[in-house]
Each structure stands twice: as structure tokens, then as C-alpha cells.
Amino acid sequence: MITLDDVKTRHRTIWAGGDYARVARDLIASLGPVLVDACGVRPGEHVLDVAAGAGNAALPAARAGASVVASDLVDALLDQGRAAAAREGLDLRWEEADAEALPYDDGSFDVVLSCVGAMFAPDHRRTADELVRVCRPGGRIGLLSWTPEGFVGRMFAAMRPYAPAPPPGAQPPVLWGQASHLTELFGDRVVEVTAHRATVRIDAFADGAAFRDFFRAHYGPTVAVYRSLADDPDRTAALDRDLAAVGDEALDDTGDGTMSWEYLLWTGTRAQAGSASSQSA
């Protein structure tokens, strides 16, 4: 029987495959600064980037003058982030850590954030609990997550029939892109909540086949699904067609040669003891 610990081992392999740093740099580099700005990161604040990858949010937080810890389950991604930080002369701590069991004391950080990262931890409740625990009362939590209805959600839906079955208890990552799911996870532990959907424009692909080939070569989850089909050329060809179709549909939707990838930007303040919830969306 596959356990959640098995999934974490699989996640390390998945995200170490391909070249996620290139995906983050070439396609979604703008998202980290969007999240950092939404969280109001200020010089001197202690910031934790959970599931930081190669530092899409950690690097702009450091540029803002914060003292930043970038944590991730995959050390290979942290190595890429360290290299990027060194090229800019930025001073960050890069630490291997599980989003479901963060190795930090209660209330250690002024800001806890995650840019399309923590959403991939299999146990959503434990992950949310950890984000709250390590944030000081009155500190801010910020999340940027792909939505189920958006392009990345549709891409994952297209890959799902071809991927190995998840273990019992593992929830779909794109649920983090639904404000109602986050309300359920965080409850009144987080107040002054804001949640809105926005899009990032992608102009890197001439057609759906170009999108598919880029993700097949560089995006860990897509690389992993194709590897699982290595001995099944018919299913590989079917996945080729399905992913190209998702890309072509996204290009057709905009009509101007770009894709529009939807995400949920969610922020809130960790409640002080005894405070009441005040939410807006």
C-alpha cells in the first residue's frame, strides 16, 4: 500500500527531474514578486518561503531587504536557488524541510509565504497547520496557487488518467486555488483575509505541441508521467495528443498567441489569541 511518506519520496524524485528552475525563470518569474508585494514584505522582517523551489518568491523577498529562509523538500532545487542568489549577491538561508513538518519554532517568522509550492504537499491540513504555527501572531501568510479551472488545473486533469494513482488521503494540489478550501483549512486562525483570482500571461509557445514538448522536457510532474509510460507507446502518443490539445485550446482562448494561466492570490494575518475572524474576498 502506498503511504503519504512514499508520496514524499516520489515528490523528491519528480521535482528533481526536469529543470524546474527554467520553468520558474522563463515562464512564471513574475509571480514571486506579485506574492511578495501582496504580503507587504519589509526590510528586516523574517520571512519563510515554504516549498520555495529555486526561490521564485524567496529571491524577491531578499531583494526587498528581508531576512529570508527558503525551504524545500528537494535539495536539488535549493542548489539551483543558491546559485541564483550567489549571482545576485543575495544572502539567504536555503534549508531542506518538509512543508508538513517544518523544523522551526512556533511564531518564528513575520511572513510565511509559498508560491505554487506548498499546494503540492499531499496532506493539506497538516501543511496549513504548519504555515500557521511558524507564523507569529499578527504576522502575515501569503499563498499563490494554481486554480482547478485555470490552465495548469486543466493540464493536470489531462495528465491524471496517465499518472500513477495517488495514495488514499492525498488531495489534489489545485484545491489550494479555491478560496473556500483555504477558508476550511485555516478557519479563524487567520484574519483580514483577501482572496482574488488573477492571471499570468505566457507568450513562450507557438502552439500546443511546443508547450507540450517544453513541459515534457522540463516540468517535473510531466517528465514523471512520461517516464511511467516509457513501455507503452500507445498511451504515450495519446498523452502527447491530449497535452497538445490543452495548449492549443489555451492559445485559442486568448486569440493573440499567448496563454492566460489563472491563479488564486490569498493573504491573511495570523490571529491574535482571542481575536475574531474578519474575511473578505
Judge contact between 150 and 175, C-beta under 8 A.
no
In a domain, 11, yes or no: no
Which helix (H) or strand (E) is 35 found in, with range?
helix 31-39
In a domain, 25, yes or no: yes
Biggest CA-to-CA distance, the chain = 59
Domain count, the chain: 1
pLDDT given for residue 16 in this prediction = 82
Instruction: Supply φ then ψ for residue 230, to 5 degrees.
Output: -55, -30
CA atoms of 11 and 99, how far apart (whole Å)? 12
Domain assignment of residue 36, given as a range: 19-203+260-270
In a domain, 139, yes or no: yes
pLDDT given for residue 8 in this prediction = 72
pLDDT given for residue 101 in this prediction = 95
What does the buried/exposed string (b/e) look like for 200-222 if buried means 16 or more CB atoms within 10 Å of the residue's CB? Answer: bebeebeebbebbbbbbebbbbb
pLDDT given for residue 6 in this prediction = 67
In a domain, 164, yes or no: yes
In a domain, 32, yes or no: yes
Gyration radius of the chain over CA positions = 18
Confidence (pTM): 0.93
Query: Which CATH number belongs to the domain containing residue 86 in this structure?
Result: 3.40.50.150
In a domain, 150, yes or no: yes
In a domain, 84, yes or no: yes
In a domain, 231, yes or no: no
List per-block mean pLDDT (blocks of 10 residues) for the chain, which spans 281 residues. Answer: 65 84 94 98 98 96 98 93 96 96 98 97 95 98 98 97 84 96 98 98 96 96 95 98 97 90 98 58 40
